[in-house]
Amino acid sequence: MKKILYTLGLTVLLASCGSNYLDTVPQSSTGTATIFETTQNAKLAINGICRLMVNQYLSSQGFNGEGTIKTWYGNYPGNDFQKSNLTGWSSIINSLYHERNTSSYCYYPWFYYYKLIGNANAIIENIDNASGSNEEKQFIKAQALTFRAYSYMMLSQLYCHRWCDSNNGSSRGLPLRIDLSTGELPTSTLAEVYGRIYEDLNEAISNFTASELDRASGDNYSPNLDVAYATYARAALTREDWATAARYAVLARANYPLMTNSEYVDGGFNTPNQEWIWSSYNATDQNLHYYSFFAYQGSNSSASICRTYACSISKELYDQIPETDVRKNMFLGPKEGETYTTSTGRASKGALYDRAMKDYADKIYSTSYIFAYMQFKILCADQPGIGQLNNFRSAEMYLIEAEANCHIGGKDAETQKLLVALNKDSGRNPAYTCTKTGDNLLQEVKLYRRIELWGEGFDWFDYKRWKEPIVRKAYPEGSFHVQFAITIQPSDNNQWTWVFPAKEVDYNDALSSYIE
């Protein structure tokens, strides 16, 4: 019997996510009987899945767990993010690999998320037989169910069509692997995928609640009840289930007040603070070196990919950020009289260069190239790419509820209050007001989603589900290198849908008749 690609990931790692976490079992695979002998060992298995989210894969520098999804699949091909002058990556940045089923770029997300799913399945299937309290078993099972739901949610956004193009979910979904079997498995419908996500999250919420347990103080990297709520909110938004999205967004953010301005502009995106609902752990003692998310995006990273090719915001989005907004100061927008090489975006001397080296000296590596519109939001906590990776924060939940309200209708006043809370009351923009209604209000929500979540891996995913074209412009209208200054219509490139990897189709006979 041929084995589905999924089995390649069926190895539970017992790895620590913190130097103060006791490593009682080696950081390698071990027998199922040992892992699930006790709830204490099962906790280490959950810890191992957390570690898988910040691991290097496929012997490639760039495949670094969840950070790769945010960088290569969410940011690089998006509308508002640019990796300045990185023309050698134009095929990825311009979304030309969606139908190349033998490419590692097509294969990686499948491999990575089914690896998480395989490990989650092992826990779900075995935890009930472990020795330990029933409350611990409920909590651990809930964590595994949350991992599985999150993974299927992310896979569906990459390998399935938009919900609005799915004929109410009847389009092709994914193989739903929900046990430890390794046989052939046909694809489900997209509606069935979301049905499974919802079912897993409902069960997770029930178990989290019944257990009356929570993750330890200082642990932001393993799932808890709030992470299940946040996953539900994002999944429902993607499925265009507006009422469900709004409901769970409120629940998810309840315990996570927005960060302060000082936190926002100085390390608010590399170290957990009160706004962070869930993150992936990273520290000096568990360093991915030049392979990590922050080694690709940190403005102060010593990695050559950052020193030579800055991450920058598009001119079009930058120009829409009000002057009174603290978020505008996190980008090097040229002022009158400040010039740069318009073909590349680089400033090697002159007023713009001097201002960057003076005003942002602590956020730029000493030998970094300076580019117009370069960012200072994503910073390393240590070199070359140390930093904890945020997966959910409460700001996203405000924006999910606001967007959902716009589609529900009759909630303009509530939506205006949400935007005021996010932008004015938080201090991000003390001058912010909102009186817009109807479609204009929805456009305002989308704009502030783009501003608030810039660089965090949402760009391409949002434009896909919005079914809006990516429109990048070169100088003088925009700031993109001419090789990236293209328009990508929603119908282009297989409707922005990655095909099933050839490795999966070859090994899963139930998909042998599946033709992309």
DSSP string, 187-245: --BHHHHHHHHHHHHHHHHHHHHHHT--PPTT--SS--HHHHHHHHHHHHHHTT-HHHH
pLDDT at 417 over 50: yes
**Does residue 143 sit in the same domain as residue 180?**
yes
8 band by pLDDT with thresholds 50, 70 and 90? very low
Note whether 250 and 301 are same-domain residues: no
In this predicted model, what pLDDT tens digit does every residue of 284-316 receive, in sequence order?
777 778 889 999 999 999 999 999 999 999 999
Residue 54 inside a domain? The answer is yes
220, 238: one domain: yes
| Cα gap 170→192, rounded to integer Å | 9
Q: Does one domain contain both 155 and 304?
A: no
Same-domain pairing of 269 and 299: no
Check whether 12 has a pLDDT greater than 80.
Answer: no
- Please tell me the predicted confidence (pLDDT) of residue 59: 81
Inside any domain, residue 153: yes
Q: Using alpha carbons only, give the angle 422, 426, 430 rounded to the nearest 5 degrees.
A: 100
Whether residue 15 is predicted with pLDDT greater than 60 in this model: the reply is no
- What are the φ/ψ torsions at residue 347 (nearest 5 degrees)? -120, 110
In a domain, 481, yes or no: no
Number of domains in the chain: 2
The pLDDT tens digits for 434-450 are 999 999 999 999 999 99
Q: Are residues 196 and 305 in the same domain?
A: no
The answer on 236 and 351 residing in a single domain is no
One domain for residues 124 and 176: yes
Would you say residue 429 has pLDDT above 90? yes
pTM flag (> 0.85): yes
Domain with 356 in it: 289-377
Residues recorded for the chain? 516
SS3 call for 391:
strand
Tell me, yes or no, whether 100 lies in a domain: yes
Specify whether 133 is located in the same domain as 21: yes
Q: What is the pLDDT of residues 269-286, one digit of tens each?
A: 999 999 999 999 988 777
Q: Rounded to whole angstroms, how far apart are CA atoms 513 and 516?
A: 10
